[in-house]
Amino acid sequence: MTMGTRFERDLPDLLADLYPESAPSYRDDIVRRIATTRQRPAWTFPERWLPMGVITLTRQTISPVPWRTFGLLAALALLLAAAMALYVGGQRRLPPAFGPAANGALVVGDGGDIYLIDPATGDRTLAIGGPTIDSDPVFSRDGTRFAFYREDGGRRGLFVADAHGQGVAELSTTGLADVGAIDWSPDGSSILVSGNDTGPGMVAIVPVDGSAARVLDLGIRAEDAVWVPPDGREILFRTPGEVPNVYGLVVARADGTGSHMLVPPPGTAAADWSGLYFAPSPDGSEVAFQWRDESGTLKIFLVPTAGGTPRAITTVESVLPRWSPDGARIAFAGPDGFYAVGTGDPAPQTRLVAGSRGLLARWAPDGTHLVLLTDGGKMLLVDPTGGPSVEATWSATNLPDWQRLAAP
């Protein structure tokens, strides 16, 4: 046995001697604090904590397919891809980065591959396939490309492809750890990537031309960072406070300088900001976020991006605010259904879907409806004015992203 292997064999004992396990004296203090700490309701978790790490993607065993059938299917796929390419490629004008736009294709990661879906027909086309695990596609704001994550042999990287899934290129993510959220810059030249509440709190700007990523030196932990509309000169992110489980929202310049706390405003008593989800308005003037009020109820609040006093716009317990493209409404989830509320004052509140059927939703770019992923795995097309919801003709296991196109 070499000295090295003996060292490794002895290491657990050496460490156990250095750091012996003993019941610490603060155990009672923790138990006392727990007795006065509210639990977060189960329904407020958009994705209940998944079994960690590698989600095993079982690839189906495909029975032998007769060549004639295979050829026919391939031809059909080519035709579909060509039709999709014509459909997408024919749109020469580009939509604005924020605000209403025409509805294009849907893109969704499913089973380690990425698909495009034509929402009008429900046709689903494989855009990115192969043995790699590709996931989390997000369209650029002008709809010409999408970014996605690819895992290959334990390595995870950020990639871009054009809107048809062609021209796949890897972006530089050297030195970035555990980032998940993707937010395209308004001009489409870069992507803001950041971690969530269990990652290292890193934010970086990744240029889509393949040049090196730049990690922002914010001086504080940052989660779920997004660009502030309309020009992306600033970014907005969540940061954990000094008190456990209390979070704040911070605005900083896009170069990482000039951080200032947006909420809680100065002098405001810190509440339990558990699960602080937020979204800037399409014009960037306000930020919607969820916060417990004095009674302990989670509500949606609005605060000017430039700073000011937050105002509650919901009356029921509410989480996960989603702005409509025109900024006139905010959709949110409640314990007994899915709602929309006007952003004016007063703000009329409408329950769109009864029952706790799902939390994850996305507005269509034209604002005429929302797509809601239900707990049962179905896609509901929800009328934001309160009309009847209908089940989509297409299906996906994850919430798709919607391509924005120039309005006709």
Burial label, 147 (beta-carbon count in 10 A; 0-12, 13-18, 19+): buried
- Closest approach, Cβ 162 to other proteins, in A, equals 27
Question: Shortest CA distance to 180 belongs to which of 171, 192, 193?
Answer: 193
Residue 44 has φ and ψ, to the nearest 5°, of -85, 0
Burial label, 229 (beta-carbon count in 10 A; 0-12, 13-18, 19+): buried
Q: Contact with other proteins (CB under 8 A): which of 95, 119, 186, 201?
A: 201
Rounded Cα distance, 126 and 77, in Å: 8
* Contact set for other proteins, span 49-108 (CB under 8 A): 49-54
60 vs 174 by CB, closer to other proteins: 174
- Closest approach, Cβ 16 to other proteins, in A, equals 7
Q: Is 33 in the site for other proteins (CB under 8 A)?
A: yes
64 vs 244 by CB, closer to other proteins: 244
Q: Contact with other proteins (CB under 8 A): which of 66, 90, 131, 154?
A: 154
Q: Is 374 in the site for other proteins (CB under 8 A)?
A: no
Instruction: Please name the residue that has the structure tokens 């940061």.
Output: 239
- Closest approach, Cβ 39 to other proteins, in A, equals 6
Rounded Cα distance, 130 and 169, in Å: 15
Contact 138, 185 (CB under 8 A): no
Q: Which amino acid would we find at residue 318?
A: S
Q: Is 375 in the site for other proteins (CB under 8 A)?
A: no
Q: Which amino acid would we find at residue 374?
A: T
Q: What angle do CA 85, 91, 96 make, to 5 degrees?
A: 125
Contact 83, 116 (CB under 8 A): no
Q: Is 39 in the site for other proteins (CB under 8 A)?
A: yes
Instruction: Give the total of residues touching other proteins (CB under 8 A).
Output: 58
Burial label, 353 (beta-carbon count in 10 A; 0-12, 13-18, 19+): buried
Pairing of β 113-117 and β 124-128: antiparallel
- Closest approach, Cβ 59 to other proteins, in A, equals 20
* Contact set for other proteins, span 262-281 (CB under 8 A): 274
Q: Is 23 in the site for other proteins (CB under 8 A)?
A: yes
* Contact set for other proteins, span 169-198 (CB under 8 A): 177-178, 195, 198
Q: Is 221 in the site for other proteins (CB under 8 A)?
A: yes
2 vs 295 by CB, closer to other proteins: 2
* Contact set for other proteins, span 223-252 (CB under 8 A): 240, 242, 244-245
Burial label, 215 (beta-carbon count in 10 A; 0-12, 13-18, 19+): middle
- Applying CB under 8 A, the span of 9-17, 129-137, 205-213, 380-388 interacting with other proteins comes to 9-17
10 vs 209 by CB, closer to other proteins: 10
Rounded Cα distance, 172 and 187, in Å: 19
Residue 214 has φ and ψ, to the nearest 5°, of -120, 115
Q: Is 376 in the site for other proteins (CB under 8 A)?
A: no
Residue 3 has φ and ψ, to the nearest 5°, of -65, -35
- Closest approach, Cβ 351 to other proteins, in A, equals 24
- Applying CB under 8 A, the span of 46-54, 204-212, 291-299, 300-308 interacting with other proteins comes to 46-54
By CB under 8 A, name the binding residues for other proteins.
3-4, 7-8, 10-12, 14-24, 26-27, 29-31, 33-35, 37-42, 45, 48-54, 154-156, 177-178, 195, 198-201, 219-221, 240, 242, 244-245, 274
